[in-house]
Amino acid sequence: YMLVLPDADFDAATNQIIGASFGCSGQRCMAGSIAVAVGKAGDPLIENLSAATSKMRVGPTDTTTAVDMGPVIDGAALGRIESYIATGLQEGAQLAADGRGVSLTEASEGFFVGPTIFDRVAPQMQIAREEIFGPVLSVMRVDDLPAAIAHANQSNYGNGAVIFTRDGGAARAFARYVNCGMIGVNVGVPAPMSLFPFTGWNQSFFGDLHIQGQEGFHFYTHNKVILSRWPNAEDTGKRVLGW
Contact status, residue 184 vs residue 160, Cβ threshold 8 Å: yes
Given a contact cutoff of 8 angstroms between Cβ atoms, the answer to whether 90 and 126 are in contact is: no
Q: Chain centroid to CA 137: how far?
A: 11
Mention every residue, 6+ apart, whose C-beta is less than 8 A from residue 211: 197, 198, 219
Q: Is 24 a catalytic residue?
A: no
Q: What is the DSSP string of 216-238?
A: HHHHT----------S-HHHHHH
- Which position among 24, 29, 51, 66 bears the catalytic label? 29
Instruction: Please name every residue paired with 160 in a beta bridge, in sequence order, or none if there are none.
Output: 182
Residue 56 and residue 22 in contact, taking contact as beta carbons nearer than 8 Å: yes
Q: CA dihedral defined by 52, 186, 117, 121, rounded to 10 degrees?
A: -150
Helix %, strand %, coil % for the chain, to 5? Answer: 35, 20, 45
> Annotated active-site positions, please?
29
